[in-house]
Chains A and B, each alone.
Chain A
Amino acid sequence: MKITAKEAEHAAKLAHIKIDSKQSEKLICELEVIARYADMLKDVDTSGVEPTFHGIVLQNVLRKDVVTNNYNRDDLLKNAPDSHDGCFVVPTVVE
């Protein structure tokens, strides 16, 4: 299966990763590997088979509705690239 540069660039855009034309070529190869894998799987009869999403069977693991977070705000902000007045700083999102 052939992947076009446009498809590769679209996927990169969705993933929020900027790529240049040189990277785009390598990326096409990688996407073609994934596409080949998907082609291979066509040979497996999965009619009537339910998908498995997890290693063990677990459903609806719930906890009591109580606040348990006890992290300190200053600790949380220590690893932030930019913060101000106890908040994360980002470029303007809405004008």
Chain B
Amino acid sequence: MNLYDKTAHELHDMLINKQVTSVEITKSVIERADKTEQILNCYLERTNEDALKTAKKVDEKIAKGKNISPLEGLPCAIKDNICTDGVKTTCASKMLENFVPFYDAYVVSKIKDENSPILGKLNMDEFAMGSSTENSYFKTTKNPYNTACSPGGSSGGSAAAVSAGSAVFSLGSDSGGSLRQPASFCGIVGIKPTYGLVSRFGCVGFASSLDQIGPLTKDVRDGALALNAIAGYDANDSTSANMEKADYTAALTKGVAGMKIAVISDYMQEGINEQVKKAVLAAVEVLSSLGAELSECAIPSAKYALAAYHIISAAEVSSNLARFDGVRYGYRSGSYNDITEMLENTRAEGFGDEVKRRIIAGTFALSAKNFKNYFEKAQKVRTVIRNDFDKALGQADILIAPTSMTTAFALGEKNDNPTKMHESDFCTCGVNMAGLPALSLPCGFDKDGLPIGLQIIGKAFDESKLLTAAYAFEQSADFHKMRAIIKNEAGEDI
């Protein structure tokens, strides 16, 4: 197995046993990315030299006999809506094409504290709006398992890079499924933490009451390690939860004997791909054979979650993105006669179509005439959704659903149909509305060889239980050991 195919914990063991150096690992991943980037387009900016500098520092530390932390010396990459000091952070938008932050997001400072070499910034849907990474202003990322397919979105670059071996792990963000759905499409693990567990300081806001940053990794143990690194209280985020730091790796081997697991029937009905359904039910059977107590539960409001989600997120978008006015940072139009025209032209030229439509839709939903029936109603429905999840989680420790009703769809397939694209978030967005933690991990492949994702949902701040169940399932199967075989244009494996 190549170094770039290995998990973080495998590489850490090799580092401390002096079987390999961080520079060797980092070079292996950089060379892998040199090849895969010609096909997949995961990166918007690469910072290889900085990464190698960090790797060298870690090797010197190891040579001196010092202990290293679990992610130390293991190269990662960051979604491009998360600010990196001195490195462009574009949100895949023309609006921020030349924006260079002068501070690190909280999570980036945590990754730097770990001495994890940062390889660069990853592609996404513009301002995280989309489910396919096709809305990037710069490039379209492809799925490592089939380059004619989408890697999912909006964290498509983050998922495809880890799946392809061009980063050991990555950070993404999830407002309605933006990290779990790409993880599912690319056959890796993605964790959407409880709202408030991970600071959003330095993450360019999309829908502030829904956004969370989380890790994308090759297996569940790596997910726990990365979550350990980025979780924690941060006074710079007023929605950060002030609580004791947990060690998520402690939960991994606890086992699921006696754990109460409920399958959400509303996510297993009409519209679900039969192969996805079969794989999810097979995973549930595995958990049952390991001693978990199975039941079914209902989230009756599930069918309204998408509608409420899109109204609320559009409203928050319209208010969050009002800051892009061509004055303090970002693009400014070259043609205007007065301040109003400067604003209108700047925003017309700087934002892509999807972003503009969502801002205007949100403005429409918040306008005096519509506020009550759109925004306020959606927020009340949000309470109903939250109550449904609370009720289901009152009877069970964790809930099970598919991450996505389908496997990866073809690039271009849903581009002209916003409703169809929105439906990609059907199984995931309710979790964001309720602020709960959820995780996606691979549970099989469809007949075309595309990965299927299992979603595990838990109580607020009970990430440990998600990890216990995920690890138990993962270790009883081999899906996490699968690696995508990427083919070049000539059809050769790279």
Interface residues of A (CB under 8 A from B): 7-8, 11-12, 14-19, 23, 26-27, 29-31, 33-34, 36-38, 40-44, 46, 49-56, 58, 61, 63, 71-72, 75-76, 78-82, 88, 90-93
B444 contacts the other chain (CB 8 A): no
CB pair A61 B238 closer than 8 Å: yes
Q: Does B19 belong to the interface (CB within 8 Å)? A: no
Which residue of B is nearest A15, CB measured? Answer: B363
Instruction: Tell me if B3 is interfacial: C-beta within 8 Å of chain A.
Output: no
Collect the chain A residues with CB atoms within 8 Å of residue B347's CB. 15-18
Interchain CA distance A33-B362 in the complex, whole Å:
12
User: Contacts A19-B348, A55-B196, A75-B102 known; A90 to B209 CB distance under 8 Å?
Assistant: no
B357 touches A27 (CB 8 A): yes
A33 x B367 contact (CB < 8 A): no
Q: List 27 A-B contacts (CB under 8 A).
A: A8-B364, A16-B344, A17-B356, A18-B341, A18-B344, A27-B357, A30-B418, A38-B307, A38-B370, A38-B378, A40-B304, A51-B376, A52-B379, A52-B380, A52-B433, A53-B209, A54-B239, A56-B241, A58-B239, A75-B102, A76-B328, A78-B102, A79-B99, A79-B100, A81-B331, A81-B332, A93-B339
B361-373, CB under 8 A of A: which get 1 and which 0? Answer: 1111101001001
Among B328, B338, B353, find the residue whose CB has the most chain A CB atoms closer than 10 A.
B328
Interface size for B (C-beta < 8 A) is 79
Partner of A11, one of B351, B364, B377, B380: B364
Q: Is the CB of A17 within 8 A of B384?
A: no
Given contacts A52-B382, A54-B209, A55-B209, contact A46 B359 (CB under 8 A): no
| Closest chain A residue to B343, Cβ basis | A16
Min CB distance, B206 to chain A, in Å?
A: 14
In the bound complex, residues from chain A placing their C-beta under 8 Å from that of B351 are: 17
Are A31 and B360 within 8 A (Cβ)? yes
Tell me, yes or no, whether B342 is within 8 Å of chain A by CB.
yes
Binding site for A on B (CB under 8 A): 98-100, 102-103, 194-196, 209-210, 212, 235, 238-239, 241, 301, 304, 306-308, 310-311, 314, 318, 322, 325-332, 336-345, 347-348, 351, 353, 356-365, 367, 370, 373-374, 376-384, 386, 418-419, 422, 432-435, 460
Q: Contacts A17-B356, A51-B382, A80-B329 given: A11-B307 contact, CB under 8 Å?
A: no
Given contacts A17-B359, A18-B348, A34-B365, contact A88 B327 (CB under 8 A): yes
Q: Which 7 A-B pairs have the closest CB atoms?
A: A55-B435, A55-B195, A51-B379, A37-B307, A81-B332, A79-B329, A46-B380
Return A73 CB to nearest CB of chain B, in Å: 11
Considering only CB atoms, which chain B residue lies closest to A72 in the complex? B102
Q: B384 near A46 (CB under 8 angstroms)?
A: yes
How far is B368's CA from A14's CA once the two chains are assembled, in angstroms?
12
Residues of chain A within 8 A (CB-CB) of B325 are 16
What does DSSP make chain A's interface, helix, strand, loop or mixed? loop
Distance, CA A61 to CA B233, complexed state (A)? 13
A63 to chain B, nearest CB (A): 7
Complexed CA–CA distance, A56 and B243 (Å): 13
Complex Cα spacing A78 to B99, Å: 9
B210, A34: Cβ atoms closer than 8 Å: no
Nearest Cβ on chain B to A61's Cβ, whole angstroms: 4
> Which residue from chain B places its CB closest to the CB of A88 in the assembled complex?
B327
User: In this complex, which of A46, A55, A56 has the most chain B Cβ atoms within 10 angstroms of its Cβ?
Assistant: A55
Min CB distance B405 to A, Å, is: 18
B357 contacts across to A, CB distance below 8 A = 26-27, 30
With a CB–CB cut-off of 8 A, which chain A residues contact B326? Answer: 81
A-B contacts besides A31-B364, A55-B434, A79-B100, 13 pairs, CB < 8 Å = A18-B348, A33-B310, A34-B311, A37-B378, A38-B307, A44-B380, A51-B380, A51-B383, A55-B212, A81-B327, A81-B329, A82-B332, A92-B339
B418 touches A18 (CB 8 A): no
Chain A residues, Cβ within 8 Å of B379:
51-53
Question: A52, A56, A72, A81: which contacts B330 (Cβ < 8 A)?
Answer: A81
On whether the beta carbons of B373 and A80 are closer than 8 Å, the reply is no
User: In whole angstroms, how far apart are the Cα atoms of A29 and B360 in the complex?
Assistant: 12
A52 to B362, CA, bound (A): 17
